[in-house]
Chain A
Amino acid sequence: MLQVRLVITVAACALAMPALGEESYRIDPLHTATTFSVSHLGISLQRGSFGRTTGMVMLDPAAGKGAIDVSIDASTVTSGSPPREALLKSEDYFNVAQFPTIIFKSNKVRFDGNAVVGAEGELTMRGVTKPCALTVSGFKCAIHPSTKTPVCGAEVMATVKRSEFGMTKNAASTGDDVTILIAVEALRQ
Chain B
Amino acid sequence: MAPTPDLQKIERKVYASKFKDGLIDIQLGLMLIGGGIISTISSREHLSTATALLILVLFFFIVGLIPFLGKKWITNPRMGTVRLGLARKKRMRMAGWALGIMVLVQAVLILLQFTGTVRPDFSRLQGATMAGLIFFIPLVAMAYFNDYTRGYLYAILVGGSVTAIISFNSWIPLLIAGSIALVVGIVVFTVFLRDYPLPEEGTGNGQ
Q: Do A and B come from one complex?
A: no
Residues of A within 8 A of B (CB): none
Residues of B within 8 A of A (CB): none
